[in-house]
Chains A and B, each alone.
Chain A
């Protein structure tokens, strides 16, 4: 490419040089349209911090301040997972992330199962965010009829879908803006709240009345999923500038930012809201602001923050809903229609199909039963874990086989980090609970006919897959 910007080499015509210049310009424009490090970090932060964080301190308070220790343990596991994703992303900077890693290490079927699992968790999980988002919007609107709430839920889902359809640059910009906007009040509570902490508010170390081990384990299980989305940038690796470098950096920085925010805000809220009030709180961040400054303005501020946070998270997850199947479809391991890209370079079929499916689940919440809706959401819980576990195991596989590129102390360090990530993913599996594992596993089995269908359509096996005779009569086979 260098010669396209220098003196014209001898023998090259002006027309040829023009073509080369155009190609160089396209390459630069393409790079320019990709996600840089800040946008990649925003994508991770935006996907990790959705709407669940706004209730988390109240849920954890029921177990006592030991839940802060549990959160610290979970954070260590998530950081290990982020480091592993960074290593894998540097080794294999291709789209699909966990799908690509599992396929590379364990073969096509494992890759497919990860893609299928992630695809399920991505679009089902978006329905959960949308439903909670509607509740926060109704703090201001108070639209209580099911039809009005469905309309709001569809707004929450299709505005991010339209942003996704408009191109990667807009997705990144929206992720950056919403991440900053959502973090300002959260960080405010986390940092300023520390100055208002009163020791008497913290409550007992173990509030359950049982053993500290049980409380630690249960509180940990409750917090295990707060880092879901740590894999986000690996999935869109092809849309990240300098992926071998930026995937690792953004994954680790993104998780560290979230860990700092989670830990500080939990400590601040535990210390500013009396324990008994916090356990029963439906808006712990708002209660913390009100306790710090008096009045009742906190509710409105935090509802607005949750609205921005929720729609930002849906924007990022909508991108993943389409990117993961696109990577698998390119390899012939997902229906080929998912590989179609629009003129703006986005997998429009995956975006539209994923958002349509999410819309159906969201509509079901308002016209079906709440129990049925929660059952559907359980699928997303277990299927979240599968890509984490396989990815961490893929890293272990590469470390203990001849494909590794490191040895000695670095090998020992990477083995230790990978082992922590695997145990963390294993703990997450346990934390999903029996019912989630049961329903989730059934949905994994549903994927097998899909795998057979894609293989058969591709003419992989049988007479249609026989290697044709060489047209040139090539010998030696």
Chain B
């Protein structure tokens, strides 16, 4: 996730203050980021297909089935939008 220019400016301001107040600490910290950054690395804690993603795939499948089956079952969404009478927008 890239930083916005505003966020970059804020970080720059913080870095400038750090350089002014404690140059040695600033040099030490900057040594951690001397290499070229080509992409934001993701945490390598899990394998290529973590089991926790199975429910996500299942959820997507259920949503697809609902999208296909709900209109023919109840028909409400195709006809007059009955559920949206203005007294029932909120309980």
Contacts and interface: CB of A to CB of B under 8 A. Distances in A.
Contact of B16 (A399, A427, A474): A474
Given A213-B73, A381-B84, A436-B84, A48 B52 contact: no
Interface in B2-28: 4-6, 8-9, 12, 15-16, 19-20, 26
A156 B84 CA distance: 22
Contact of B91 (A227, A460, A468): A227
> How many residues of A sit at the interface, in one of the four size bands?
35 or more
B6 A217 contact: no
Nearest to B5: A465
Contacts of B91: 48-50, 52-53, 56, 225-229, 258, 262
Contacts of A129: 90
B90 A415 contact: no
Contacts of A224: 83
Interface in A4-53: 47-53
B52 A381 contact: no
Interface in A204-226: 213-214, 217-218, 221-222, 224-226
A380 B83 contact: no
B83 A432 contact: yes
Contacts of A313: 90
Contact of A55 (B46, B66, B73, B87): B87
B87 A132 contact: yes
Nearest to A106: B1
Chain A CB within 10 A, most for which of B6, B33, B81 = B81
B77 A430 contact: yes
A211 B5 CA distance: 58
A431 interface: yes
B64 to A, nearest CB: 10
B22 to A, nearest CB: 13
Q: Name which of B16, B19, B85, B87 has the most chain A CB atoms within 10 A of its CB.
A: B87
Given A107-B1, A374-B86, A427 B66 contact: yes
A384 interface: yes
A468 B9 contact: yes
A472 B26 CA distance: 13
A467 B8 contact: yes
A466 interface: yes
Contacts of B63: 422-423, 426
B90 A399 contact: no
B30 interface: yes
Contact of A377 (B15, B42, B89): B89
A141 interface: no
Given A411-B52, A467-B12, A432 B81 contact: yes
B5 A460 contact: yes
Interface in B29-66: 30, 33-34, 42-43, 45-46, 50, 52-53, 55-56, 59, 62-63, 66
Contacts of A474: 15-16, 19, 26
A400 interface: yes
Contacts of B86: 128, 131-132, 373-374, 377
A433 B89 contact: no
Contacts of A222: 82-83, 88
Most chain B CB atoms below 10 A, which of A131, A380, A468, A476: A476
A393 to B, nearest CB: 10
Nearest to A474: B19
A139 B30 CA distance: 73
Q: Which 6 A-B pairs have CB atoms at the shortest separation, nearest pair first? A: A433-B81, A217-B74, A465-B5, A226-B91, A402-B43, A128-B86
Interface of A: 47-53, 55-56, 59, 107-108, 125, 128-129, 131-132, 213-214, 217-218, 221-222, 224-229, 258, 262, 313, 332, 373-374, 377-378, 380-381, 384, 396, 399-400, 402, 411, 415, 419, 422-423, 426-427, 430-436, 458-461, 465-468, 470-472, 474-476
Given A125-B89, A218-B75, A226-B91, 19 more contacts: A48-B90, A52-B87, A52-B88, A52-B89, A129-B90, A131-B86, A213-B74, A218-B74, A378-B81, A381-B83, A396-B56, A400-B50, A423-B63, A430-B67, A430-B70, A430-B71, A433-B76, A459-B5, A460-B6
Interface of B: 1, 4-6, 8-9, 12, 15-16, 19-20, 26, 30, 33-34, 42-43, 45-46, 50, 52-53, 55-56, 59, 62-63, 66-67, 70-71, 73-78, 80-91
14 contacts: A51-B90, A129-B90, A225-B83, A225-B90, A226-B90, A229-B91, A313-B90, A381-B84, A423-B59, A427-B66, A431-B76, A459-B5, A466-B5, A467-B5
